[in-house]
Amino acid sequence: MIGRILAIARTEALIVRRNRWVFLATLIMLLFALALTFAGSAPTGTLGVDRLTVAVASMTTLSVYLAPLLALMMSFDSIAGEADRGSLALLLSYPAGRGEILAGKYVAHLSALAFAMIVGFGTAGAIAGATGGASPESVTALLRLIGTSILLGAVFLAFGYMLSGLAGSPAAAAGLSAALWLVFVVLYDLGLLGAVVVDSGGYFTQHIFPWVLAANPADAFRLWNMAASPDVALATGMAGVSASLPAWAAPVSLGFWLVAGFVLARMAFRRLEP
């Protein structure tokens, strides 16, 4: 089974390289990370932290938006595109099950996404540390950011496969992916913000809001990084929310969505006829 998954992954990696996804994703992550690193370095003296800590806080916010977007852009065409080009029947004729095919695609896309995260955030973090100082805690926060960003991307890769299996065409899959990104990354937080304003510091804000926030994988990623690093939480202004939740809440949320997303993607792929 491992051999079949790796064979599919090698084939998909060639497609990813041909489409310049690795280069584009790495370039996007690197440019945005560098821009935010130096644009957000002004508060270091005010907050009493080194530049790398502020850079990690800025890159955490960046990753909330870019990691899901890049993951969905990589995966939305994986199944719908194969069906539209007529190559799905050939793919399914291989001596590999649908779960193995999906896993092979997953390995290739996740490897490309992980490479982009490591190079982009790692380079920006190294430059921030070299020019503005770094502590062992901020280095740990940077490594945590890279690992959790890869995990967040893995969740949305699975979502992209699910939508690709459900959609009837690549265009429909692209539209569904854009809608899903808007809901999880933008509209969800806007809705919670409105609820907090209406509640005016009441029961919902104090007891329910943190848990509802952690239920969203994008916000769970942010809370995980905030809760694990008080300096980063201070730099982002989310210290209060992160302190109101147990340390396991955000990791469990991301782990749940990762498993649920892959299961749903497998179910969507199973129902698709070549």
User: Would you list the domain boundaries of the chain?
Assistant: 1-271
Distance between start and end Cα atoms, the chain:
22
Are the C-beta atoms of 241 and 213 separated by less than 8 Å?
Answer: yes
Which one, of 182, 159, 174, 168, lies nearest residue 261 by Cα? 159
Alpha carbons 30 and 35: distance in angstroms, whole number: 9
- Read off the amino acid at residue 184: F
* Six-digit token string for 46: 């005010």
Name the pTM for this structure.
0.88
Summarised one tens digit per residue, pLDDT across range 41-87 is 555 544 556 778 778 888 888 899 999 999 999 888 888 887 777 77
Are the C-beta atoms of 250 and 227 separated by less than 8 Å?
Answer: yes
Summarised one tens digit per residue, pLDDT across range 240-259 is 566 677 888 889 999 999 99
Average pLDDT score, the chain? 83
